[in-house]
Amino acid sequence: MKPAFRLDQHPRRAQPLLSGPPAGYFEQLPQRVMDRLPQPEAETAAGWGWLLSLPPRWRTSLAASALLTGFAASFWLSAPGGPAGAPASIASIASLDAVPQTELVGYLLGPEARVEPTDLTELAAAYPDVNSSILHASDAEILDALDAQPAEEPAVL
């Protein structure tokens, strides 16, 4: 059987005292760390060298103005009345004028068109003769059709 291990029976080894850093170590440390970092390439495009010579706040303002100019130009060019939208809007109006009015009204009255009754009243107010060209009925027939509609009964409380 093995004897029990007791720590106080074993002598300690002599430990060397902690020594300080060499002279000038902390003064040289930042430069040694910077020397180990990979150096960026000094090559830049020939046309963009002037941009690197500008102060950072000027480069930021230049980038912001370029971004805002691009946004304003894209907004202006994509507007319906803008220069790019003008020929397309004229072409769409011309192609819409080629469709017969009875087909347009038939489409607008159909279930697939999402037209509110107020839209149709605005159309009738803008073009008073639109009803006479579509409805081929006399005033008496229209009044009879309206009278045949069920009336709402007042609620009795």
105 plus 136 within the same structural domain: yes
What per-residue confidence (pLDDT) applies to 155?
A: 63
- 139 is a domain residue: yes
104 plus 74 within the same structural domain: no
89 plus 105 within the same structural domain: no
Task: List, as own/partner pairs, every contact residues 113-117 make where C-beta atoms lie below 8 angstroms and the sequence separation is at least 24, other chains included.
Answer: none
What per-residue confidence (pLDDT) applies to 104?
A: 80
What per-residue confidence (pLDDT) applies to 85?
A: 47
What per-residue confidence (pLDDT) applies to 42?
A: 59
- 21 is a domain residue: no
pLDDT tens series, the chain, 157 aa: 788 888 888 888 777 777 788 899 999 999 999 999 887 765 655 667 788 888 999 999 999 999 999 999 998 888 765 554 455 556 666 777 788 888 887 887 777 777 777 776 777 777 777 666 666 777 888 788 878 877 777 666 5
- 50 is a domain residue: no
- 119 is a domain residue: yes
What per-residue confidence (pLDDT) applies to 134?
A: 65
- 19 is a domain residue: no
What is the rounded CA–CA span in Å between residue 90 and residue 96? 10
Domain count along the chain: 2
pTM of the predicted structure, to 2 decimals: 0.29
104 plus 143 within the same structural domain: yes
What is the rounded CA–CA span in Å between residue 57 and residue 64? 11
Domain of 76 in residue numbering reads as: 57-98
- 8 is a domain residue: no
90 plus 124 within the same structural domain: no
Residue with tokens 């130009």: 73
What is the rounded CA–CA span in Å between residue 105 and residue 113? 10
Alpha helices (H) along the chain: 25-36, 49-53, 56-78, 86-97, 101-109, 117-126, 130-134, 139-148
- 4 is a domain residue: no
8 Å CB contact between 124 and 130: yes
